[in-house]
Amino acid sequence: MKNKIIFLTFILIILIFGVTVLTSAAESLPELEYQVLASYNHDPKAFTQGLEIHKNYLYEGTGLYNRSSLRKVDIQSGSVLNKIKLDSKYFGEGITILNNRIYQLTWKEKTAFVYDLNFNLINKFNYQGEGWGLSNDGEFLIMSDGSEYLYYRNPETFELVKKITVKNKDQRLKNINELEYQGGYIYANIWQTDYIIKINAQSGAVKAYLDLSGILKTDYQGEIDVLNGIAYDPEAENFLITGKLWPKIYRIKIID
């Protein structure tokens, strides 16, 4: 990995409509290394908002009005095995699977959908504010809304249980997007950047960061948007990552 001395001269301060601003306090923030283990085809028309691996299949939530969907995907081939489209008035956001139920957020429509594993709608919840990323710790849903907060919600009622503040020392980090819980930590994409941060799931303290700049190496000529999408594979004990409209998904091993 290339030297990150320049990066470490700044601290992550994320503005809601801005990009990462970096200052000197980040010198104490460790960088995680990673190794690319494999790559797979990914639908380049999928505006990826959420990824989840369940029983060796990839589940993906995509966004954009009139293009939002929920999908079940074969990891090796990239083939879409099942797919439903959201109504055109919904902009799909993060997803997670808990107790054999799929939860899917929407951006500004204040609606969360709950499906069974065959994509049959079984419930809907309303919430205040925006919906961005979604994960779970095996007990509660964990939700982001683009702010510096992460919200723990009851999966049966969607009621707020608690919220934590994502921060590096005294600096709060905003633009927290797609989430993945693993081993007491939350791995979070930072919108409009190539960074994933590792967050203590209890305190909200940022423990380390991962810089995925340049991981997408392709001569693909189509539209490509930002890095977004992280899913932990419990069988392989590594992660899949991708981006909005990316033609590839990458399997990576994070070296802590």
What is the set of domains in the chain, with CATH numbers? Answer: 32-255 (2.130.10.10)
Whole-structure pTM value: 0.89
In Å, what is the CA distance from 75 to each residue of 156, 178, 233? 30, 19, 11
Is residue 138 scored above 60 in pLDDT? Answer: yes
Q: For 115-134, what is each residue's pLDDT tens digit? A: 999 999 999 999 999 999 99
Distance CA 35, CA 39 (A): 12
What average pLDDT is seen over the chain? 89
Residue in the block written with tokens 């999966």: 155
Instruction: For residues 8-27, give the mean pLDDT.
Output: 37
Note the pLDDT of residue 210: 94
Confidence of residue 28 (pLDDT cuts 50, 70, 90): low
Is residue 11 scored above 50 in pLDDT? Answer: no
Note the pLDDT of residue 223: 83
Q: For 195-248, what is each residue's pLDDT tens digit? A: 999 999 999 999 999 999 989 977 777 888 999 999 999 999 999 999 999 999
Tokens of 3: 């030297």
Q: List, as own/partner pairs, every contact residues 217-226 make where C-beta atoms lie below 8 angstroms and the sequence separation is at least 24, other chains included.
A: 218/247, 218/248, 220/44, 220/247, 222/44, 222/247, 223/44, 225/47, 226/191, 226/192, 226/193, 226/194
Distance CA 90, CA 6 (A): 40
Cα 44 to the center of its chain, rounded Å: 17
